[in-house]
Structure 1
C-alpha cells in the first residue's frame, strides 16, 4: 500500500476536493470540507457535512455521558471503600 507524504494516509484515501488533503474516513473529509471550505461547497457536500456533524455531535454526547458515568462509579467506589476501611 502506497502512502502519501502529506499526512501518511493511503494513496486511495478520501481526499478533499478543494485542497487535496487526504483523510482516513469519508466522515472526517466531510467535516473538514464543512469547516474549512463551507462557502465553496455544493448542496450535496453541505448535506454530507450536516450529516457528519450531527453524527459527530451524537458520538461526543454519548462519550461524555459514558465518561461521566464512569467517573461517578469510580468516585462512589472509592467513597464506599473508604467508609468500609474507616469503620473496620
Structure 2
C-alpha cells in the first residue's frame, strides 16, 4: 500500500490522488483541504459537514479536558490541605 494511512484494502479512496482513508469523514476532510478547487458542489457540502462535525468534536474534547484538569487540580489541592494539616 502506498498511502500514508493503515487503511484496509476496501477503504474509501480519494478520487483525485488515490490515497486511502479509514472513513468517509476523513476522506471528505482530505478532499476539502487538498483538492478544494476541483470539488463539485456535493463534495464541497460533504467537506463542510465533515469540517463542522470535526470542529464540534474538538470543542467537546477541549471542554472535557478542561473539566478533568480542574477536577485534578482541586483534588490535589484538597489532598494537600488534608495531608499538610
Note the residue ranges of structure 1 that are not aligned, 5 or more in a row.
Answer: none
Residue correspondences, number: 83
Aligned match of 1:20 in 18, 21, 24? 18
Alpha-carbon distance in structure 2 between the residues aligned to 1:9 and 1:64: 27
Normalising to structure 1: TM-score of the pair? 0.91
Q: 2:56 maps to what in 1?
A: 58
Aligned residues: CA RMSD:
0.7
RCO higher in structure (CA 8 A, sep ≥6): 2
Normalising to structure 2: TM-score of the pair? 0.95
Runs of 4+ aligned residues of structure 1 deviating over 2 Å after TM superposition are none
Note the residue ranges of structure 2 that are not aligned, 5 or more in a row.
Answer: none
